[in-house]
Amino acid sequence: MEIWDVLDENGNKTGKVIEKTHQLPKGQYHLGVDVWIKNRKGEYLIQKRAPTKKRMPGKWMTTEIV
Q: Write down the pLDDT at residue 58.
A: 95
Q: What residue type is assigned to position 26 of the chain?
A: K
pTM of the entire predicted model: 0.60
Q: Write down the pLDDT at residue 66.
A: 55
Distances, alpha carbon 1 to alpha carbons 20, 25, 63, in Å: 8, 19, 19
pLDDT over 60 (residue 19): yes
Q: pLDDT tens for residues 22-64?
A: 889 899 999 988 888 999 999 999 999 999 998 889 999 887 6
Q: Write down the pLDDT at residue 39.
A: 94
61 bridge partner residues: 47
